[in-house]
Amino acid sequence: MILARADQASRRYGDVLALDRVDLDVRAGELVGLLGPNGAGKSTLMNLLVGLRRPSSGRVELFGGDPRDPASRRQIGVTPQETGLPGTLRVGEVVDFVSAHYPDPVPRGELLDRFGLGDLARRQTGGLSGGQRRRLAVALAFVGRPRLVLLDEPTTGLDVAARHTLWDAIRAFHDDGGTVLLSSHYLEEVEALARRVVVIGQGRVLADDTVDAVRGIVGVRRVSLVADELPELPGVVRTERIDGRLHLLTTDADQLVRALVTAGTVFADLEVRPTSLEEAFLAITSGSEPATGPEPTGGKPAQPATAAAGGRPTTA
């Protein structure tokens, strides 16, 4: 069952094309990670799905209807990138206020304990640290027992312990049958949580598949070695030196190693391994072109990399 859908959805802000004919389906029970650099269109897409913005063209659906329908929006929970909480209200009062909007909210104590805030119920929100305020903002997305939760950069500003507390709460919600769409710049966060990854760059979907499949789409491997100098090598996407070791991202590790041997390069401690999601992400987004020209009408443009994730192919 599809809970949220974007169908050829585009969004303009003046002359800027923030989203360029994006297709996306979020199905019941999924935990989808939305990746992309700043300005890629992630927040714009989320705003369309929850009815805060309207598409300039195309359409979006929430539970089969208009995202601006209050009946549909009562079934979602949202944490935007930035939130404001009344500084004089206590944490428990904020939870009670939001809970009053729902027929069967999660009890205050249960919710606060789930997000590591149980001892802060009487603290004024103005006296919370930035990380505590962020945890409270995320907790409020779950208070109404939503069917679908959308989290935009949920762990920004959190330390490692607080981030893992949120991860555990998100996993628990998903394990109980909840559906989650989250965007993040923390690529290890998506690797830790998501079953499906959607990569957005310059307003378009560049890849949509499992974490392993996204790595496979770009076909990049990391070759690490110790060497003073290297000859010009084929298929190298990126080179960096860290703590005396050279790290080469390459589309053909076998060819690269053969070239090293053929050139008589002196090297040691050679290591070849698959890329991380971060490396795959960088390789995909580095190939995207700006979507700033006139908005096309009709048809589906070719994509740098796309793949189906349990249904119709997702292209943009």
The tokens describing 94, both together, are 């904020």
Q: Do 262 and 161 reside in the same domain of the chain?
A: no
Query: Is 60 domain-assigned?
Result: yes
Task: Determine the Cα–Cα distance for residues 155 and 184; give it in Å rounded to an integer.
Answer: 8
Say if residue 201 is in the same domain as residue 232.
no
**3-state SS assignment for residue 126:** helix
**Residue 112 domain-assigned?**
no
d(CA 58, CA 54): 10
Q: Which residues contact 167 (CB under 8 A, 6 or more apart)?
A: 155, 189, 192, 193
Instruction: Please report whether residue 199 resides in a domain.
Output: yes
Domain that holds residue 13: 2-75+147-215
- Structure-token pair, residue 184: 């993040």
Looking at the structure, do residues 65 and 166 belong to the same domain, yes or no? Answer: yes
Answer yes or no: are the C-beta atoms of 155 and 163 closer than 8 Å: yes
Contact 49, 2 (CB under 8 A): no
Q: Which residue has the tokens 């679908």?
A: 148
Identify whether residues 166 and 266 lie together within a single domain. Answer: no
pLDDT tens series, the chain, 316 aa:
999 999 999 999 999 999 999 999 999 999 999 988 888 899 999 999 999 999 999 999 999 999 999 988 989 999 998 888 899 999 999 999 999 999 999 999 999 999 999 999 999 999 999 999 999 999 999 999 999 999 999 998 888 999 999 999 999 999 999 999 999 877 888 889 998 999 998 899 999 999 888 877 777 889 999 998 899 898 888 888 998 899 998 889 999 999 999 999 999 999 998 887 777 777 777 655 433 333 333 333 333 333 333 333 333 3
Q: What is the per-residue pLDDT for 299?
A: 33
Show which of 181, 200, 215 is a domain's final residue: 215
Q: Note whether 266 and 172 are same-domain residues.
A: no
Q: Specify whether 191 is located in the same domain as 253.
A: no
Same structural domain, 155 and 253: no
152/58 same-domain check: yes
CA 26 centroid distance within chain: 13
Residue 254 shares a structural domain with residue 229: yes
What pLDDT is attached to residue 127?
Answer: 94
DSSP secondary-structure letter at 125? G
Domain assignment present for residue 282? The answer is no
Last residue of a domain, one of 215, 230, 263: 215
DSSP string, 227-251: -S-----TTEEEEEEETTEEEEEES
Residue 311 lies in a domain: no
Q: Please indicate, yes or no, if residue 290 is contained in any of the structural domains.
A: no
* 277-285 helix and 211-218 helix, angle to the nearest 10 degrees: 50
Per-residue confidence (pLDDT) for residue 42, from 0 to 100: 93
Helix (H) or strand (E) holding 211: helix 211-218
Contacts of 9 (CB under 8 A, 6+ apart): 19, 21, 22, 23, 24, 45, 48, 55, 57, 58, 59, 60
pTM for this entry:
0.78
Question: How many folded domains does the chain comprise?
Answer: 2
Asked if residue 44 and residue 157 are part of one domain, the reply reads yes
CATH number of the domain residue 55 falls in: 3.40.50.300
Q: Return d(Cα 102, Cα 226) in angstroms, integer.
A: 60
| 93 C-beta neighbours (distance < 10 Å), count | 16
Q: Which of 231, 229, 172, 143 is nearest to 31 (CA)?
A: 172
